[in-house]
Each structure stands twice: as structure tokens, then as C-alpha cells.
Structure 1
Amino acid sequence: MLKIIIPTIMLLPLALLSRPKLMWTNTTAHSLLIATLSLQWLAPTYLPHKNLTQWAGIDQLSSPLLVLSCWLLPLMMMASQNHLQHEPLPRKRIFISTLIAVQPFIILAFSTTDLMLFYISFEATLIPTLILITRWGNQPERLSAGIYLLFYTLISSLPLLITILSLHTQTGTLHLPMLNLTHPTLTNSWTDLLSGLALLTAFMVKAPLYGLHLWLPKAHVEAPIAGSMLLAALLLKLGGYGIMRVTMLMTPTSELLCYPFITLALWGALMTSSICLRQTDLKSLIAYSSVSHMGLVIAASIIQTHWSFTGAMILMIPHGLTSSMLFCLANTNYERTHSRILILARGLQPILPLMGTWWLLASLTNMALPPTTNLMAEITIMTALFNWSPPTIILTGTASFLTASYTLFMLLMTQRGTTPPHITSTQNSSTREHLLMTLHITPLLLLILKPELISGMP
């Protein structure tokens, strides 16, 4: 564990002390090295935990998410390079340091075996994200987006803290393997219902559940590219991972708790897919699509079967890579056309043909085309939900149909049609951008060959 966390923390002095010319090269190369090192965690094991210490341990649920978070740090740096081109050097250094500062907390949140440490690192990721959005966002509304993010997260996580403390007084420990053994079984009394609700709400806001999702489109639209990638690929997964961890402790989940959440999640998948069909803002469209996908993850996590956990786990990883890639592509469009409005930035395929190929690949993975891992995940989740209750097939089927519709709408609007007259000259796509897209799509394509690496099951 430490052989990844210590080099990650050492990236900070590297970013602050590197010579100006070598700053980007050093930090990106070093973080790529850490990402390559972290691949060892994917080695399957039949033990419940790998590298178990007093405070951290890696099991089949956390190892794919840990590798994903290490993999995305160099990609975020590569994506931000053009965005920060004209900034003074101290601001560049602070930006890179802020990105690096989130990383140890995310690694801790995914690998810790202590509920209190999990809560602290879960909350600590908020501060660097907030700095990224409010300091480097594009529009003047970035402050209100930051306030939305802050208050949604803080209000929802206060009950979580109180419940964790009461759990500690009941059981005498917050060590997750111990809590799994003691199993504080929930009765249908009001106190147990409320504590179950408090445990889930914080993660539902982070995931986000439809109805608690209002902070997400605002935060995504205002954030710089690295902030969007961080939010879509990692912080949303913290919510999904937290739900999985907590529902394992809460067996059996009360019907009064699970029915409203599953209904909201599936209805949300349907509603946000419909909202995507009438979006004019490209970043907003991709943000809403994340809500729709995470709705399936939430519904699957709550019904607590092996199949549904596997499906939720497999969906989280490809969704992280796909949505991150879509945000990068949206950013390349924005840098050339200076507009995120779909009508003003359309017909770009003749101008940037290779970018059109990346758009096509990202859109196909987003709409779960066979044989991508997205499809395996969606089919697994649909099967699990259908076995739990047959009528859910109507909601999940319609949601996946709408997903395909809005993805094709996004692809056709950005790539096809006549180029607007105001786009007279655009710079060519750079090697850096193509490398960035390649590093996103390669893991997605390789995982098709061995999806059990990320299935969450030994």
C-alpha cells in the first residue's frame, strides 16, 4: 500500500521544485510510473484481502477502483496542459499540486478498512475539488457550483458521521472485517431505519441519486477539464463504492429503505436519459449521462446479490473511463470553437477526422455496444434486477434505449452536418490529445478480453 501512497505524496515536491521546462514532463512521467506499478493490484486472489494491515487492505471490490484512480492522475495532467498554457508558473504549480493532493485521499478512501478513516478521506476529497472548480473554472457561475457541491456533500454527510459514531458505541469497533462478522442486524424499528437511511444518504448524494443530483451538472459544467474528469471518473465511484460497503453491513436492508431508493434510481436513469435528449450544452449532456449510469449502479448495489454487485462493479470502471474520455473530447472541441453549445460546434469531422474516430469509439462504448464491458455490466445488472422483480425490465430497457438515442444524438450533432460559418480556422489535433484518448480507450478494449479482473468477485 505504502509503495503507491509514498510516491504519490512525493509528487508534490516534484511539482513544486521541478524546473519550469520539465515540470509537466516530470509529474506526468512519474504519475504514469505509479499507475503502471498499481496494475499489480489487479492480480486475482482467493483471499478476502490483499496486503491487509491495521488501517488498509485491498479486496476484490476496491482493487479495480484503486487502479482506475492511479491511472487517471497522469491523464488529468495531460488533459490540463493546454488549458493552463498562458497561466503564470506559480499557478501552474498550484494546479498540479491540487490535483496530486486529491490522490492520496482517494487511494485511502478506496483501501481503508476502518470506517472512520474512510469517512475522513471521503470528506477530504471535497476540498481540492472545490479549489479546482472555484479557482480554475471557466464561467462566473463557478462559485455557485462550488457552493452547491459543498453544501450538498456536507449536509448529507453529517448524519453519516453521527451514525458511524453510534455504530462504534454499539459494537465497540469500526474495523470493516470485524463489522462484517458482528453484523448489527437491523430491525424494523425507527432508530434502525433512520440509521440505515443516514448511512446511505451521504453516498446517494455523491453517487448521485436522481433527486439529489442537482449539484452535479452545475459542478461539471463549471469545472476545468481535470475537475470534470476527477468528478466523473472517481468521486462518483466513491459514492457507488460506499453504498456497496455499507449495504454489506446492513443485512437485511429494510423494505422501507430499499424500495424508494431503487425506484428513484431506475426512474432517474429514465428521466436523465430523456433530459440528455434535449440538452444544448455538451458538458451538461455528458454530466446527465453519468447520473443515468450511476442510477443502475445504485439500484444494483441495493438489491445485494452476487450478480448485482458484479454488474455494479463492472459498470463503474468502464463508465469512469468512458465519461472521462467524453469530457476530454468535449474539451478539445471547446478549445477550438470556444463554445460548448452543440449547435455552434457541429460538423467537426471534416476538420478533425481523427478526432471523429475517437468520438465514435467513445460514443459506442457509452451506448454499450457489444462486446464492450459496458454491455456485460448492463446485461448483468438487468438480469439481477429482473430476477429481483420482473417489471423493472420495462424501466431498464427503456433507459438503455434512451442511452443509445442520446449518444447517437451527441455524436451526430458534434461530428456531422454543415460546419457553422463562424468556424473559419481551427488548430490541428495534437499528439498529446491522441495519446490521451489512446490511454483512455486501451484499458476499455483490453478489459473485454478479461472482465473478471474488475468483476469484484474472487
Structure 2
Amino acid sequence: MLGVVFSLVGLLLCSGELDVVIVGLGFVVVVGVGLLGGCVGGEVSSFFGGDLMSGVLIVLSLWLGILMIVASVSGGLSGDGSEMYMMMMLLLCFCLVLSFGFMDLFGFYLFFEVALIPIFMMIVGWGYQPERLMAGLYMMFYTLLASLPLLIGVMSLYGEGGSLVYKYMGLLGWGMGGMWWVFMMVAFFVSSPMFFVHLWLPSAHVEAPVAGSMVLAGVLLSLGGYGLLRVMCFLSGEVIEWGGYIIGVSLVGGLISSMICLCQVDLSCLIAYSSIGHMGMVLGGVVSMSYLGWQGALVLMVGHGLCSSGLFCLANIFYERFSSRSMMVVSGALVLFPGFVLWFFLVSICNMGAPPSVSMFGEVYLLGGLSKVWVGCMLVMMGMMFFAGAYSLWMYTYVVHGRGWLLFDGSVINVREYLVVFGHWLPLNVLVVGLDVLSMWV
């Protein structure tokens, strides 16, 4: 911890944009590897350690942390306040790693809430439009309002059992009867987000800077799924009683969100609503309480984190050159960036679950897990997969073809931006080789 403090102080004292980036990357690598070694290598103590699931999400957080620092070189790190912008990104990565590393429910809750502060500061301080203040308030209102019942539930569980360590709670099997467990999990439903409590997500994505959008889509949405997977172990009785309603809302809401994507003209809004559809599948898989459902939830969270973060990075690259996220204005990219369009195509087909991406295998797992709950779930998921292919192809063809490129500023795609996109696409397809390892945590 002392090393973390000295690194942050050194970051604030360094001068020059390149120095900020180098110090930030070094901080993420050194501190992240140390924490990861403690988490994956075994329990450091009874409340801090890790297992395979938390280790996978820690690696995802660190990898996306490095990519969002590199992607922000021409954004928040290129003007005044670049040191503070880097400080917010590093604090956010640090909170995410600790959230996944704590084996104690209160430690997870604490850093789950602390992570909202830097992302709120990033949206309000470095957002693109004047509406960023309202978007930040929406996010804080939804998340903080939903987290109060979670805090009450955590304290009630501690008063009943005397411990909040996951393994002890799973062994003793205590829980909360009645509707208390629903109030306790509302915070995870909002963070995921579930349909009906998703309105904060599109506005936050549209107004956030590139690093904020990448970490929101890549890791923060996974916090809700991770929290649900942790509490399901000792709330299984209540889930069996009420889980059917949650699965219905998640899947039908995801289908509606997928259809809404076909009506969007803003590139960031389309990607944000696609995230709601994918996370609806994850919520359904978690609540299904099946082996395949839990496997698919983790695999799809990893695949969605890489794919959605890459799409937001691509949207920001177009925004920097056209000063607009409207697909009508951005259209015609094939004429200007024929090489870069290939990478846009590769990430877009991963968004629809095309092989050999990790997302495809996650959807297949979820299809098998949810079909055991009710055959109708399989039909709804098939509709979600169809519309995912429809809006992904529509987004690609609209952006690539056309003649809306007259507002182009003349700048070309540089090597750094190619590397950032490649950094998203490579693990999204290479992790298929180790898919059995991702599934061993159940």
C-alpha cells in the first residue's frame, strides 16, 4: 500500500504527457501484477485472496486498464488536467482489482461503491457534451439509491451469522427470507444493468470520455454479474422461488434492447443498448442456477467486456475525426480508411457472436443452461442472437458505406490506435484455446 501511495504522488509530480503515460502504465503493470499474484496464488488472509473467477476478472481489469490509458493519449491525456485524469483511471483500476480480490462481502461492497467516484469524476470532468453533468447524476442516483438496501442486507447477514467471508457463508448456508433478498440484489441488477433500471447506462456511455466508456462497458457491468454469482451461493432457496420472474425480465428486456438498437442513429447509443442485451443473457444465466448457466455467464462477461470496450474505442476514433457520433455523418469510412475498416468488421462480428470469438461459446453455454429452466427461454435467446446479428451488420454497413464523410478533418489512423483495437480483438479470439480453464471455477 505504501508503494501505491508513492506511485500516485510521483504521478502527480511528473511533467509532460509522455511521462504521465509511462508512469501510469508502469503503475498498472507493477501494482496489478502484485495484487494478481496474491489473488490467484491463493488466499493472503481469510478476507483477501482469490479464486479462478476473480483472477480472470482481475486480468480483464488490468488489460483494459492498460488499453484505456493508451487510448486516452489523444484525449484526456493531451490537455490540461492530464495528471488528474490519469489519477482517476489508476484509482478506478485499483478499486476494481480490490473489488474482485476481496473474499469478504463487505470489502467487495466497499470498493464496489468507491469505484463509482472516479468514473463519476471522469464523466463530469472530461465528458464531451454539456449534458455530462446530468448523465453523471443519473448514474450516481441509480447506483447509490440501489446500494442502500444492499448495505442493509450486508449488515443483516453479518448480524445473523457473524461473518461475511464467502466460504463461511456458503458452508453455513444462511440467507434472508421473504423479499429482503430482492432488495439486497437490486444494486447488482442496476449495475449489470437489468432492463427497467438501465436508463443511466446509455446517457453515461454517450457523455463519458473514451476511457470511461471502455471501463464502464468492460468491467463495471461485470461487477454486477460477479456480485450476483457470489451471493447466489447462499441465497439459492429464494432464487428458486423468485428466479423465474428475474429470468423473464432479463431475457425479454434484452430482446427489447436488441430491437431498440435497430432504431439508433448514435453509434455510442447503439453499442450501449447492445450491452444491455448481452448482460440480460448474463443475468438469466446466473439466476438459472445451472452449471452451464454459470459457466456461460463468466465466459460472456469476459467476451462482452473485450468486445464492447473495443467498439467504444472504435466509436471514439471516428468521433475524433468527424466530431460526431452520428452514423449518418460517419458513414463512408471505407473510402477514407480501407485498412481500418477491416478491424471494425472483425470487432463487429465478434459482437454478434461469430466464431471463433469467446462470446459465441458464452452464448452457447447460456443457451444450454437456460433451456433447462424453460424451453421458451431458448426461443427468446434465439431472437436475441438474431437481432444481435442484424444490428451489428447494420451498424457496420451504415458506417462503412455511404457519402457522409465530407466533415472529415483529414487525419489518418495512427499505429497507436491500431494497437489498441488489436489489443481488444486478440484475446477475444485467442482465449477460446483456454475456454476449459475459464469454465473450471464452477
TM-score (ref. length: structure 1) = 0.92
Per-residue CA shift, 1:227-276, capped at 9, x if unaligned? 10111111100001011111111022345521221111001110000000
| 2: CA distance, partners of 1:85 / 1:230 | 16
Per-residue CA shift, 1:85-142, capped at 9, x if unaligned? 6522xx1000000111112211111111111111111110111111000111011111
1:288 is aligned, of 260, 273, 276, to 273
- The equivalent of 1:105 in structure 2 is 95
Amino acid at match of 1:109: S
From the superposition, tell whether residues 40 and 176 of structure 1 become closer, same or farther in structure 2 (CA, over 3 Å): closer
1:124 is aligned, of 108, 114, 121, to 114
2:416 is aligned, of 429, 432, 441, to 432
| 2: CA distance, partners of 1:6 / 1:68 | 25
- The equivalent of 1:153 in structure 2 is 143
| 2: CA distance, partners of 1:157 / 1:83 | 32
8 A Cα contact 1:199 1:246, kept in partner? no
- The equivalent of 1:15 in structure 2 is 11
**1:38 Cα deviation (Å)?**
7.1
* 1:50 to 2:42 alignment: yes
| 1: CA distance, partners of 2:315 / 2:337 | 13
* 1:237 to 2:237 alignment: no
- The equivalent of 2:246 in structure 1 is 261
* 1:69 to 2:76 alignment: no
8 A Cα contact 2:39 2:51, kept in partner? no
Q: Secondary structure at the match of 2:76?
A: coil
| 1: CA distance, partners of 2:433 / 2:276 | 27
* 1:80 to 2:65 alignment: no
8 A Cα contact 1:139 1:222, kept in partner? yes
8 A Cα contact 1:11 1:100, kept in partner? no
Q: Secondary structure at the match of 1:193?
A: coil
| 2: CA distance, partners of 1:233 / 1:185 | 30
| 1: CA distance, partners of 2:423 / 2:323 | 25
| 2: CA distance, partners of 1:165 / 1:175 | 13
2:173 is aligned, of 178, 183, 194, to 183
**1:442 Cα deviation (Å)?**
1.6
| 1: CA distance, partners of 2:38 / 2:339 | 34
Q: Secondary structure at the match of 2:168?
A: helix
2:382 is aligned, of 371, 388, 397, to 397
8 A Cα contact 2:54 2:100, kept in partner? yes
**1:353 Cα deviation (Å)?**
1.8
- The equivalent of 1:46 in structure 2 is none
**1:166 Cα deviation (Å)?**
1.0
Once structures 1 and 2 are overlaid, which stretch shifts more, 335-344 or 57-66? 57-66
Q: Secondary structure at the match of 1:235?
A: helix
Amino acid at match of 1:131: M
Superposed CA RMSD:
2.0
1:364 is aligned, of 330, 343, 349, to 349
- Note the 1:371-386 alignment, pairs <5 A: 371-386=356-371
* 1:318 to 2:303 alignment: yes
**1:453 Cα deviation (Å)?**
3.0
Identical aligned residues as a percent:
34
From the superposition, tell whether residues 116 and 33 of structure 1 become closer, same or farther in structure 2 (CA, over 3 Å): closer
8 A Cα contact 1:8 1:100, kept in partner? no
- The equivalent of 1:414 in structure 2 is 399
Per-residue CA shift, 1:183-237, capped at 9, x if unaligned? 0156xxxxx1222102211100000000100000011001011110111111100
2:430 is aligned, of 421, 439, 446, to 446
Counting matched residue pairs gives: 441
Unaligned runs of 5+ in 1: 44-48, 187-191
- The equivalent of 2:51 in structure 1 is 59
8 A Cα contact 2:300 2:359, kept in partner? yes
Unaligned runs of 5+ in 2: none
Amino acid at match of 1:77: I
From the superposition, tell whether residues 371 and 117 of structure 1 become closer, same or farther in structure 2 (CA, over 3 Å): same
| 2: CA distance, partners of 1:434 / 1:42 | 32
Per-residue CA shift, 1:335-368, capped at 9, x if unaligned? 0000001101101022112220110110111111
8 A Cα contact 2:32 2:97, kept in partner? no
8 A Cα contact 2:254 2:278, kept in partner? yes
Amino acid at match of 1:124: V
8 A Cα contact 2:24 2:90, kept in partner? no
8 A Cα contact 1:325 1:437, kept in partner? yes
Structure with a larger share of its residues in helix:
2
- Note the 1:168-207 alignment, pairs <5 A: 168-184=158-174, 192-207=177-192
- The equivalent of 1:249 in structure 2 is 234
Once structures 1 and 2 are overlaid, which stretch shifts more, 61-70 or 441-450? 441-450
Once structures 1 and 2 are overlaid, which stretch shifts more, 293-302 or 443-452? 443-452
| 1: CA distance, partners of 2:68 / 2:313 | 9
Amino acid at match of 1:79: A
